[in-house]
């Protein structure tokens, strides 16, 4: 008997998206079903191009067609993606941006900027449209890490007469940094209100265009800038970067709790443990837990959020950052593989958040 579209959809209605707990047909993830004799093809629209479950979903689809439709069918699954959003369709601010992600740490120097830079590039390399705001006034390091210290963003005028800044583009990421506005030895001027107004400018006066993910590298601790951010845009979720060290964890917890305060109410997507162990280049299989062991896991468990990854302390991560070619760009290296995995986990948690958690509200200002 000839295979029909109904046969195919019925079979695929038994394939579950493991994270979202519903089947692919109910989730409207199947499109473009074509049948030609025993040749069956269809598209599966994933929630992110960085989906770590790609292979699993692909195999489950093929198995479902072979088991429930025809064991001799030649199945061609076209995996593609449309990044989900929990933002309102008519947002006035950052209207083309689907997900706004704050990256925070409690303590300074835990590697938040290093993690953010690698994460942004890793997401862009999967095919996602990615922007990055460096709002870290304590030391805006993105221009160095992206190798664009000497670049200055151009300003252009829209047909409506509004001035817009064009972000710098490198490694497939659109970048704006406080570091582009003042030489690094002037960093001290970026205290308080000036930094907050720079962040607002980056949000409303930069031509971000369409983005799947806009990452915002926040200053360490909890500051005015954090409040400015949540009062200006609905933040999709926050990532907390920490080392396993006790003092870093205590500060990371404060940062995490700030986002969770009822009046702020930004979902915490998970914890990333950086400098989880030291691995010398000449002993790639050795792990020295110089900042303690398991701290990120404990923090994640305590606050019931996922541990999104553990990044080792390796010399090449520091060196490549200083050289303006972050570790993720060094294809085939263990460090690049770690950041790829972290990026997949982050994208996965954003998709889950968008499916199950209500939209974030902008925090009202109390004057
Ligand atoms: N996993 C790692 N392995 C080796 N070096 C690292 C690693 N992560 C970060 N570093 C290095 O540690 C230093 C601090 O990192 P980074 O500037 O990213 O931290 P930060 O938390 O953003 O700091 P700040 O408090 O200034 O915002 C940098 O020299 C960076 O290259």
Surface-to-core class of residue 142, CB atoms within 10 Å of its CB (0-12 exposed, 13-18 middle, 19+ buried): buried
Residue 96 assigned ligand-binding role: no
- When comparing pLDDT for 220 and 345, which is higher? 345
Whole-angstrom CA distances from 47 to 24, 171, 251, 299, 341 are 11, 23, 33, 28, 17
Q: What is the mean pLDDT of residues 26-43?
A: 97
Q: Is 327 in the pocket of ligand 1 (CB under 6 A)?
A: no
pLDDT of residue 32: 97
- The rounded percent of the chain whose pLDDT value lies above 70 is 96
Is pLDDT above 90 for 92? no
How far apart are the C-alpha atoms of 99 and 228, rounded to whole Å? 17
Q: Is 111 in the pocket of ligand 1 (CB under 6 A)?
A: yes
pLDDT of residue 221: 80
The minimum-distance atom of ligand 1 relative to the CA of 217 is 22
pLDDT tens-digit profile of 110-126? 999 999 999 999 999 99
pLDDT of residue 183: 61
How remote is the CA of residue 332 from the centroid of ligand 1, in Å?
Answer: 22
pLDDT of residue 191: 62
Q: Which range among 56-60, 88-92, 104-108, 229-233 shows the weakest confidence by mean pLDDT? A: 88-92
Q: What DSSP letter does each residue of 65-110 carry, written as one string?
A: HHHHT-TT-EEEEEEEE-----S-TT-SSSTTEEEEEEEE-SSTTS
How far apart are the C-alpha atoms of 203 and 170, rounded to whole Å? 19
Q: Is 317 in the pocket of ligand 1 (CB under 6 A)?
A: yes
Q: Is 105 in the pocket of ligand 1 (CB under 6 A)?
A: yes
5-81: CATH topology = GMP Synthetase; Chain A, domain 3 (3.30.300)
3-state SS, residue 278: strand
Surface-to-core class of residue 166, CB atoms within 10 Å of its CB (0-12 exposed, 13-18 middle, 19+ buried): middle
Start-to-end Cα distance in the chain: 71
Total residue count of the chain as it appears in this document? 367
97-356: CATH topology = Rossmann fold (3.40.50)
Is pLDDT above 80 for 101? yes
pLDDT tens-digit profile of 56-87? 999 999 999 999 999 999 999 999 999 999 99
pLDDT tens-digit profile of 201-228? 999 999 999 999 999 999 888 788 899 9
Backbone dihedral angles phi then psi of residue 86, each to the nearest 5 degrees: -110, 15
Is pLDDT above 70 for 366? no
pLDDT of residue 185: 59
pLDDT tens-digit profile of 1-11? 799 999 999 99
How remote is the CA of residue 313 from the centroid of ligand 1, in Å?
Answer: 10
Residue 108 assigned ligand-binding role: yes
pLDDT of residue 108: 87
pLDDT tens-digit profile of 133-168? 998 877 778 999 999 999 999 999 999 899 999 999
Residue 109 assigned ligand-binding role: yes
Residue spans per domain, the chain: 5-81, 97-356
For a ligand 1 pocket test, name from 114, 142, 278 the mutation site with the most ligand atoms within 8 angstroms of its C-beta.
Answer: 114
Q: How high is the mean pLDDT of the chain? A: 93
Query: By alpha-carbon position, which residue is closest to atom 3 of ligand 1?
Result: 313
- The rounded percent of the chain whose pLDDT value lies above 90 is 80
Handedness of CA 350, 351, 353, 357 (dihedral sign): positive
Residue 110 assigned ligand-binding role: yes
Question: Sorting pLDDT into bands at 50, 70 and 90, what band is 189?
Answer: low
Strands 268-278 and 237-242, how do they pair? parallel
pLDDT of residue 90: 82
Is pLDDT above 60 for 184? no
How far apart are the C-alpha atoms of 343 and 261, rounded to whole Å? 26
For a ligand 1 pocket test, name from 105, 113, 219 the mutation site with the most ligand atoms within 8 angstroms of its C-beta.
Answer: 113
Q: What DSSP letter does each residue of 190-257 carry, written as one string?
A: --THHHHHHHHHHHHSB---SEEEEEEEPPSSS-HHHHHHHHHS---EEEEEE-SSHHHHHHHHHHHH
Is pLDDT above 90 for 20? yes
pLDDT tens-digit profile of 264-306? 999 999 999 999 999 998 888 899 999 999 999 999 999 999 9
Q: Is 179 in the pocket of ligand 1 (CB under 6 A)?
A: no
pLDDT of residue 188: 52
Residue 106 assigned ligand-binding role: yes
How remote is the CA of residue 205 from the centroid of ligand 1, in Å?
Answer: 29
Residue 113 assigned ligand-binding role: yes
């Amino acid at each position: 008997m000839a295979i029909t579209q109904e046969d195919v959809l019925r079979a695929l209605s038994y394939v579950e998206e493991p994270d979202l707990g519903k089947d692919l047909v109910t989730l409207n993830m199947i499109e473009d079903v074509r049948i030609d004799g025993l040749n069956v093809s269809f598209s599966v629209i994933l929630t992110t191009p960085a989906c770590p479950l790609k292979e699993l979903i692909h195999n489950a689809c093929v198995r479902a067609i072979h088991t429930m439709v025809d064991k001799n069918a030649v199945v061609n699954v076209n995996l593609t993606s449309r990044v989900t959003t929990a933002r309102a369709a008519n947002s006035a601010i950052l209207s083309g941006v689907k997900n706004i992600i704050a990256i925070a740490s409690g303590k300074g120097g835990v590697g938040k900027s290093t993690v953010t830079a690698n994460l942004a590039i890793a997401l862009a390399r999967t095919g996602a449209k990615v922007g990055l705001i460096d709002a870290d006034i304590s030391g805006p390091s993105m221009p160095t890490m992206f190798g664009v210290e000497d670049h200055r963003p151009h300003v252009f005028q829209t047909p409506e007469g509004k001035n817009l800044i064009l972000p710098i583009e490198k490694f497939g990421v659109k970048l704006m940094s406080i570091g582009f506005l003042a030489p690094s030895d002037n960093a001290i001027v970026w205290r308080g209100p000036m930094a907050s107004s720079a962040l607002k400018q980056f949000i409303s006066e930069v031509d971000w265009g369409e983005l799947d993910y806009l990452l915002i590298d926040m200053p360490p601790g909890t500051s005015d800038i954090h409040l400015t951010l949540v009062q200006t845009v609905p933040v999709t979720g926050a990532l907390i970067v920490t080392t396993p060290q006790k003092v870093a964890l205590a500060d990371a917890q404060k940062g995490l709790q700030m986002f969770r305060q009822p009046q702020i109410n930004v979902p915490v997507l998970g914890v990333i443990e950086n400098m989880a162990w030291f691995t010398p280049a000449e002993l790639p299989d050795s792990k020295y837990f110089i900042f303690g062991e398991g701290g990120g896991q404990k923090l994640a468990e305590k606050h019931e959020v996922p541990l999104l990854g553990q990044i080792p302390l390796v010399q090449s991560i520091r060196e490549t950052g200083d050289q303006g070619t972050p570790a993720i760009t060094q294809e085939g290296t263990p460090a690049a593989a770690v950041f790829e995995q972290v990026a997949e986990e982050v994208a996965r948690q954003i998709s889950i958040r968008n499916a199950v958690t209500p939209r974030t509200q902008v925090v009202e200002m109390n004057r």
